């Protein structure tokens, strides 16, 4: 679930809306939001089932992990 901020008409991905995600998955969602923007993450995750959300987050982590290892 996402929240509409009435003041600036923007959507925000909330922890409460994705309470089924683990803390580490939620950290990945935060990284995804920084890289792609919160509206993109909201649009990507919201229509997916919980299992599909876990898979999408895991796939993102697997693809970006090598770049974090090189730092």
pLDDT recorded at residue 25: 94
Secondary structure element (H or E) that encloses residue 13, with its range: strand 10-13
How confident is the model over 1-57, as pLDDT tens digits?
444 344 444 556 888 888 999 999 999 999 999 999 988 998 999 999 999 999 999
Query: Could you tell me where the DSSP H helices lie in the chain?
Result: 23-36, 38-45, 50-69
pLDDT recorded at residue 65: 78
- The ranges assigned to domains in the chain are 2-69
Q: What is the pTM of this model?
A: 0.74
Instruction: Quote the tokens at residue 49.
Output: 């089932």
Beta bridge partners, 2, equal 13
């Amino acid at each position: 679930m996402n929240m509409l901020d009435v003041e600036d008409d923007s959507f925000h991905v909330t922890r409460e809306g994705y309470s089924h995600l683990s803390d580490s998955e939620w950290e990945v969602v935060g990284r995804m939001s920084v890289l792609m923007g919160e509206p993109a993450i909201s649009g990507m995750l919201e229509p997916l089932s919980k299992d599909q959300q876990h898979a999408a987050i895991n796939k993102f982590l697997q693809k970006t992990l090598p770049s974090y290892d090189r730092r």
